[in-house]
Structure 1
Amino acid sequence: MDVSQVLCMNGGDGDYSYSNNSLLQREVISMTQPIIEDALMNLYCDMNFPKTLIMADLGCSSGPNTFLVASELVKSIDKIRRELGQDESPEIQIYLNDLPSNDFNTIFHSVSDFIKNLAKQTRVTKSSSKPPCYFSGVPGSFYTRLFLKQSVHFVHSSYSLMWLSQVPELAKTNKGNIYMSRTSPPSVIRAYREQFQKDFTLFLKCRGEEVVSGGRMVLTILGRRSDDPCSKECCYVWELLATALNELVFEGLIEEAKMDSFNIPQYTPCAKEVSNEVEKEGSFEIDYLEVSEVDWDACTNHNLNFTKDDAKGYNMGKCMRAVAEPLILSHFGESIVEEVFMRYTNIIKNRMSIEKAKLVNVSVSLARKG
């Protein structure tokens, strides 16, 4: 699997698009807003009220969440400069980054309207004709260099860094699984952990070269509280998808070998693993580290004509389809996609009707060392 070609959320604005099925991710972004505001306050003061700010949202995807992040960044800076008695807003450049397969067209079609609406929400002086911010798209992996040396003041990333640069090279078959599991061989768990360590270290090294001295990063990663990388809190969503796929293997609709060769390129770290890699790489120091939770039903649109429990499962199924469909499609082909996600959604509905499932987030605020 070439991750750079297939690791993208469903584009467009259709029924299974990421744009229309990312309420859970939106909730997580909103939860971390106080951390972002604190980092921006420190940045703005330490930089002595700069007249220009360069910001980057890494793994921006497409849809309303992309503009939620941009909006909150601009409004936070506007609020901070007013609180500090600064008359003039800094000019803000925002780089939107994701893999080349991301649906950048949907983003660009919406930029003009977004800037007009944002200008109404921020206190741009009447004599000023400048927009509140400027946008550029930056396609490419954030496990490579993306920007000029020491050019970026603030980096944001939410629910992106758990995705690996590649599926780990496995010495043994992860039979019957598509991710880490209690039935996975120890070598599989080790390969996933080592791939995360390699990737996250590379991410920090690249950003260390690009972020200015005293610059900030706020990263939120899908993670876990437990030291156990196979704990239910981080593996459950993929175990349920594996259940749906294994049903199709049993019925002869998917070849067993095809199933055994499919593994999700993701690793959900605990806070200790994140802090360890930051300290080892050495470019940044940790200002703040937090572990939080979000319910699966945070993705539920309560306006739908379903009972409460059905709406929970239905929307979580669509949320996961928006994330996982490109991976399933590239490996298994189009013929089984509808059947897989119909079964997956039913399994999720069943689980959510009898238990309270949560996702765990690891959020870290970092400052670039001088």
Structure 2
Amino acid sequence: MEVAKILHMNGGIGDSSYAKNSLLQQKVILMTKSITDEAISALYNNIFPREIIRIADLGCSSGPNTFLTITELIKTIDKERKKKGHKSLEFLIFLNDLPSNDFNRIFRSLSTFYEEDLRKYNMGRDELFVAGVAGSFYTRLFPSNSLHFIHSSYSLHWLSQVPDGIENNKGNIYLTSTSPPNVVKGYYEQYERDFVTFLTYRSKELVKNGRMVLTMLGRKNKDRYSKGCSYEWELLAMTLNFFIAQGSIDEKKVNSFNIPLYNPSPKEVMYIVEKEGSFTIDILKTSKIHRNSCDDEKYNMILMTMYSLRPKKIYLDSKYEDQTNITKNE
């Protein structure tokens, strides 16, 4: 399955659109705001004086969350600028997502964004410039040494493709306790390849002393069958299997369908970052987030937010002090 050609959030502003059904993702952006604020403030202080800051939001989708991210970043820099009595800056914001993303909706909304949101900061169209960049973030997207800050929220758990060789994951559409060992291995290895690729390209695109904040869905331990990761996919698989039993869906088609997604653990993330070698994790923070439909703790999703930079220093949440010994098998 060519994920980059077909995967996208529902466009438009209808009842089934991403714009109307992304409150959880909005909550994630606001939950991780303190880390993003710290990173963008550190960036500003390290690169001043500078007349323009170039920022990329990878996996921007469309709807209010797209502009929420931009607004929060600008607000933090503007606060830092005023505190130090510096002159105004220009911003160049790159909004990236897959080619099938609803970029038309984004740009139709820009005039409202300029007129309402930017007015709060006494900014005009001649101070903030927005460009769309269509393409997978598992490919090269920007020129070398062109970006000061990279942000990605609720996107990096999506894979570039369904792992190869998992046709025997019958009855499932993702990782579950009944998935064969080769399926588990295939999912992890695809994630590792993708994340290494992502880090390698971003290291070329960031300027020296640039900053990158990444937030993704994950799990808190080595259990790759975590219910918090697979709950909704198990429900969908049960529904599909019901329709197979009713004769409404072809069993072969369902057995060939798997979700291109992986929820890593903190140990796996740290191992891959160390293996790739371009970045060091300054902060790795984990947070629980409740689903509206399920408050049971075992079904809670885990968010991981990484604030990466050079030089090398690693600070961990105290609850994950055992993560210094990282092995690929975990």
TM-score by length of 2: 0.91
1:220 is the counterpart of 2:225? no
CA apart distance, 1:122: 1.1
C-alpha spacing 1:159/1:89, structure 2 compared with 1 (3 Å):
same
Report the Cα distance in structure 2 between the residues aligned to 1:270 and 1:180, rounded to whole angstroms.
Answer: 14
- Mapping of residues 67-106 of structure 1, within 5 Å: 67-86=67-86, 88-106=87-105
Tell me the amino acid that sits aligned with residue 289 of structure 1.
L
- Mapping of residues 46-65 of structure 1, within 5 Å: 46-65=46-65
Q: What are the superposed Cα offsets for residues 262-288 of structure 1, whole Å, 9 maximum, x if unpaired? A: 000000101111111111111111111
Tell me the amino acid that sits aligned with residue 113 of structure 2.
F
- 2:155 is aligned, of 155, 160, 172, to 160
CA apart distance, 1:240: 1.1
- Mapping of residues 175-186 of structure 1, within 5 Å: 175-186=170-181
- Mapping of residues 1-370 of structure 1, within 5 Å: 1-86=1-86, 88-124=87-123, 130-297=125-292, 312=293, 352=294, 355=296, 357-368=299-310
CA apart distance, 1:172: 4.6
C-alpha spacing 1:151/1:368, structure 2 compared with 1 (3 Å):
farther
Report the Cα distance in structure 2 between the residues aligned to 1:71 and 1:172, rounded to whole angstroms.
Answer: 44
Tell me the amino acid that sits aligned with residue 194 of structure 2.
D
Unaligned runs of 5+ in 1: 298-311, 313-351
C-alpha spacing 1:355/1:41, structure 2 compared with 1 (3 Å):
closer
CA apart distance, 1:85: 2.4
* Partner SS for 2:14: coil
Q: What are the superposed Cα offsets for residues 306-340 of structure 1, whole Å, 9 maximum, x if unpaired? A: xxxxxx4xxxxxxxxxxxxxxxxxxxxxxxxxxxx
* Partner SS for 1:190: helix
The alignment's C-alpha RMSD in Å is: 1.5
Query: How many residues are matched?
Result: 311
Report the Cα distance in structure 2 between the residues aligned to 1:119 and 1:205, rounded to whole angstroms.
Answer: 34
Report the Cα distance in structure 2 between the residues aligned to 1:69 and 1:102, rounded to whole angstroms.
Answer: 17
> Does the 8 Å contact 1:118/1:132 carry over to 2?
no
Report the Cα distance in structure 1 between the residues aligned to 2:143 and 2:90, rounded to whole angstroms.
Answer: 18
Report the Cα distance in structure 1 between the residues aligned to 2:311 and 2:141, rounded to whole angstroms.
Answer: 20
CA apart distance, 1:119: 2.2
> Does the 8 Å contact 2:97/2:133 carry over to 1?
yes
Report the Cα distance in structure 2 between the residues aligned to 1:57 and 1:247, rounded to whole angstroms.
Answer: 40
Tell me the amino acid that sits aligned with residue 54 of structure 1.
R
Identity of aligned residues (%): 50
Q: Which runs of 4+ in 1 moved over 3 A?
A: 129-132, 354-357
Report the Cα distance in structure 1 between the residues aligned to 2:10 and 2:220, rounded to whole angstroms.
Answer: 29
Tell me the amino acid that sits aligned with residue 183 of structure 1.
T
Q: Partner of 1:342 in structure 2? A: none
Q: Partner of 1:347 in structure 2? A: none
Tell me the amino acid that sits aligned with residue 240 of structure 1.
L
Report the Cα distance in structure 1 between the residues aligned to 2:302 and 2:64, rounded to whole angstroms.
Answer: 22
Report the Cα distance in structure 2 between the residues aligned to 1:115 and 1:83, rounded to whole angstroms.
Answer: 24
Q: What are the superposed Cα offsets for residues 149-177 of structure 1, whole Å, 9 maximum, x if unpaired? A: 00000000011110000000025510100
Report the Cα distance in structure 1 between the residues aligned to 2:29 and 2:307, rounded to whole angstroms.
Answer: 14
Report the Cα distance in structure 1 between the residues aligned to 2:311 and 2:203, rounded to whole angstroms.
Answer: 9
CA apart distance, 1:211: 0.3
* Partner SS for 2:288: strand
C-alpha spacing 1:172/1:8, structure 2 compared with 1 (3 Å):
closer
* Partner SS for 2:48: coil
Report the Cα distance in structure 1 between the residues aligned to 2:108 and 2:36, rounded to whole angstroms.
Answer: 27
C-alpha spacing 1:369/1:208, structure 2 compared with 1 (3 Å):
farther
Larger RCO (alpha carbons 8 Å, 6+ apart): 1
CA apart distance, 1:133: 1.5
Report the Cα distance in structure 1 between the residues aligned to 2:16 and 2:209, rounded to whole angstroms.
Answer: 41
Q: What are the superposed Cα offsets for residues 49-89 of structure 1, whole Å, 9 maximum, x if unpaired? A: 42210000001000010010011111111011112222x12
C-alpha spacing 1:285/1:200, structure 2 compared with 1 (3 Å):
same
* Partner SS for 1:164: coil
Q: What are the superposed Cα offsets for residues 22-54 of structure 1, whole Å, 9 maximum, x if unpaired? A: 000000000011100100111111112422100
C-alpha spacing 1:165/1:217, structure 2 compared with 1 (3 Å):
same
> Does the 8 Å contact 2:203/2:278 carry over to 1?
yes
> Does the 8 Å contact 2:167/2:256 carry over to 1?
no
